[in-house]
Amino acid sequence: MLQKIFILLLVIGVALATIANAQDDFMLSRKEAIISVERIWERATHNAFTDLIYHHPYFYCCFREGSGHIPGIDGSVRVLCSADGQNWKSVTHFYKKNVDLRDPKLSVTPKGDIMVLMGGSVYQGGDCIKRSSWVSFSGDAGKTFSPLYNVEIDQSIRSNNDWLWRVTWHEGVGYGVVYQGQTDSLAIHLLQTKNGISYSAVTTWNLSGRPNETTLQFDSSGNMIALVRREGGNRHGMIGKSSFPYTEWTWHELAFPLGGPDFVMLDDSSAVCGTRDYRFEKTRTILARILPGAVFRPLFALPSAGDTSYPGMVIKDDVLYVSYYSSHEQKTAVYFAKIRLDAIK
């Protein structure tokens, strides 16, 4: 009996040491890579679900303001801008009566307008009874924004629960992925648009495991890369690749669960990803490399814990800029990090 207890204690000790060493490795890499991290917004009770773009000469960061992760008070969307990444000002604030606005995403249209896309959920008695997406545009560098327009989804696939999560523009066309439903059999479709408001169906992805939040990027040959969160089964993320017209896809499992993922291409065969890491007692926001063969290699954690993730990512002048949110400093707030690009390549 004593021998069994000793072996059990030894196994537990090794496991704890492994976790500690992993945390030390994160800290070591973090010190080498992070230039700075600033808390840039905390005025609401809960400030979360960020995105980030650079549209000369400003950075733009958007996020949701609410009373909590899931609303008691319906969420609104705020957009900040900054010329230097240190001094930020609010340029607009979206609110829609009886609609919980959340997960805003930024992009720049072929016309050069700033586009803000966001989900809108309607609750009744604590239950979500409808989801749709909304969009606004600014043609004057964020000085003014249009009213919110309801996104129009292809009639052949439209439902009462459509969430278009992010749009990426390529050669004059915007591409995004809409996921539908609230059950274990979520449907997920690739869409395209010319104006950011009306979207036509490109293809339906036959992915299991409740696929949902999806970020799209393109390599130098015009191939589309998709990074997909899944919340069913083993919850491992999926990465897919397709050439124009993006109807035939090759998929690989990442062997790592994702949460609010974003990524940017480093070259045609690798990328850096920001996502939630569930492996520790308190989840954290991490950066990771995605390498050929669907290899997912965590690099280090950003200062974060608990309710955290949903990064936005921009590469500019050999620096990786990352917006994200976290609750590690008591209040759920928005952060802006500068990362040495040469430290993560």
Per-residue pLDDT tens digits for 34-48:
999 999 999 999 999
pLDDT tier for residue 20 given thresholds of 50, 70 and 90? very low
**Count of beta carbons in the 10 Å neighbourhood of residue 102:** 25
Q: How far apart are CA 150 and CA 281, in angstroms?
A: 39
Cα–Cα distance, 152 to 41 (Å, whole number) = 32
pLDDT band at 181 (very low <50, low <70, confident <90, very high): confident
Domains and CATH numbers, the chain: 35-343 (2.120.10.10)
Q: How far is CA 156 from the centre of its chain?
A: 27
- The strand order across the sheet containing 76-82 reads 46-55, 58-66, 76-82, 89-94
Query: Is the confidence at residue 300, as pLDDT, over 80?
Result: yes
pLDDT higher at 25 or 235: 235
Confidence of residue 280 (pLDDT cuts 50, 70, 90): confident
Report which of residues 32 and 194 the model is more confident about.
Answer: 194
H-helix or E-strand containing 194?
A: none
pLDDT at 56: 96
219 pLDDT more than 90: yes
Q: What is the pLDDT of residue 27?
A: 57
More confident residue, 235 or 2: 235
Q: Is the pLDDT score of 7 beyond 90?
A: no
Count the neighbouring beta carbons within 10 Å of the beta carbon of residue 118: 29
- In degrees and rounded to multiples of 5, residue 19 shows phi and psi of -65, -45
Query: pLDDT: is 70 or 277 the higher one?
Result: 277
Q: How far apart, in whole angstroms, are the C-alpha atoms of residue 213 and residue 309?
A: 13
Whether the predicted pLDDT of 13 surpasses 50: no
Band (184; pLDDT cuts 50, 70, 90): low
pLDDT band at 12 (very low <50, low <70, confident <90, very high): very low
What is the pLDDT of the chain when averaged over all its residues? Answer: 91
pTM here? Answer: 0.91
Say whether 8 sits in a helix, a strand or coil: helix
Three-class DSSP category at 342: helix
pLDDT confidence of residue 126: 83
Q: Rounded to an integer, what distance in angstroms lies between the CA atom of residue 69 and that of residue 271?
A: 29
Reported as a single tens digit per residue, the pLDDT across 144-169 is: 999 999 999 999 999 999 999 999 99
Q: What is the pLDDT, as a whole number, of residue 10?
A: 45
Per-residue model confidence (pLDDT) at position 170:
98
Q: What's the mean pLDDT in 21-31?
A: 59
Kindly tell me if the per-residue pLDDT of 24 is higher than 60: no
Distances in Å between the Cα of 315 and the Cα atoms of 57, 115, 340 are: 14, 19, 10
Q: How confident is the model at residue 183 (pLDDT cuts 50, 70, 90)?
A: low
Radius of gyration of the chain (CA): 20
pLDDT-derived band of residue 1, with 50, 70 and 90 as boundaries? low
Mean pLDDT in residue range 82-103: 97
Q: Count the alpha carbons within 13 Å of 70 in the hemisphere toward its beta carbon.
A: 5
